[in-house]
């Protein structure tokens, strides 16, 4: 009996610069798998390896992003889901602006979304109330406590 494919396949990386790993010389152009996460992220940052990402994939924005375009700029707010090409996604992944929506995709430093309640509506309501209180204060009406 032999194992044809593992149920949880590791992330694949393409080697950009040769380096020594676990007593083995890894050559340019090779495809490697099963790299431990902190080491993989550091090698990606040092431009020795590059993750093999899909051509177009869906990502979740962790920060508001603005991408230049030929005619208009593309903008996305925090926690919005967007489809991004590989070249743009790679830069944004390393910057910490986006993470893949797919939980099985490679993420730098194994970043995850917190599973807690969404507090964005409560924060928006609090900001709107503070703005209204400020305007009322400026025209001389004191808001209730």
- The whole-number pLDDT of residue 35 equals 82
Domain boundary assignment for the chain: 10-52
CA distance 121 to 144: 22
Given the candidates 2.30.30, 3.40.5, 3.30.450, 3.40.50, the CATH classification of the domain at 10-52 is 3.40.5
Dihedral, 116, 119, 121, 124 alpha carbons, nearest 10:
-160
Task: Please tell me the least confidently modeled range out of 4-18, 20-34, 45-59.
Answer: 4-18
- The whole-number pLDDT of residue 1 equals 38
Residue-wise pLDDT tens digits, 57-73: 999 999 999 888 777 77
Residue spans of beta strands (DSSP E) within 39-123:
49-51, 56-61, 65-67, 74-76, 81-85, 98-100
- The whole-number pLDDT of residue 11 equals 82
Whole-structure pTM value: 0.66
């Amino acid at each position: 009996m032999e194992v044809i494919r593992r149920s949880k396949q590791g992330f694949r990386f393409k080697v950009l610069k040769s380096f020594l790993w676990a007593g083995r010389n890894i050559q340019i152009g090779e495809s490697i798998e099963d790299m431990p996460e902190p080491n993989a992220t550091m090698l990606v940052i040092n431009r020795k390896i590059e993750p093999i990402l899909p051509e177009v994939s869906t990502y979740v924005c962790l920060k508001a992003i603005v991408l230049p375009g030929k005619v208009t700029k593309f903008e996305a707010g925090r926690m919005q889901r967007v489809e991004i090409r590989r070249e743009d996604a790679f830069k944004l992944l390393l910057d910490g602006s986006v993470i893949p929506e797919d939980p099985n995709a490679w993420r730098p430093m194994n970043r995850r979304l917190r599973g807690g309640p969404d507090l964005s509506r409560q924060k928006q309501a609090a900001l709107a109330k503070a703005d209204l209180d400020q305007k009322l204060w400026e025209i001389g009406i004191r808001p209730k406590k």
